[in-house]
Chain A
């Protein structure tokens, strides 16, 4: 597709379960970013990939959060043993040249995660 896609669009899970969120970046974009937006909050940076490696994981809120990227394309954000405070919209963005001013970050529609 032409844009960044994310799946699922909505996910409802029970506390303690694991979830996987998927991001398909724009073809050819080498940089991939994960953000989350909690209710009433701004977008919070989680992790950044350059190719398949993640030079900056500083935003991951706890060790229950992990992410990987394979083939320089699709990325999966995994949350283990979900907690209610993990409920948020998780947004993925990609860019062609990571060091350039970030007008070139293109966002997906997000995955709304609800932990009951």
Chain B
């Protein structure tokens, strides 16, 4: 069965960076892309960006350009999302989700809470 398992919760200070991992299993990793979606406390879903696990092509949300980097390691079927220059409003649950750029997200990770606080 398809599974996306994310790394554990993080607490970071403003200005720091965080890197969240998403390990895939149960399917051919390079056959699908991975999107990252975040959800601030009590708020809705916000798409952050997408990476092709086939060739590493990326597409980031304009508001995060310059602060976010998405990568994959095909040898371990793991996707990564790094967010830099963290601010308090980056506090959110971060999800990885399987899917193509123009399509739906059919499987989701369990979420990783990132708290940014001084």
Whether chain B is bound by chain A comes out as no
Chain A residues near B (Cβ < 8 Å): none
Q: Using a CB–CB distance below 8 Å, which chain B residues touch chain A?
A: none
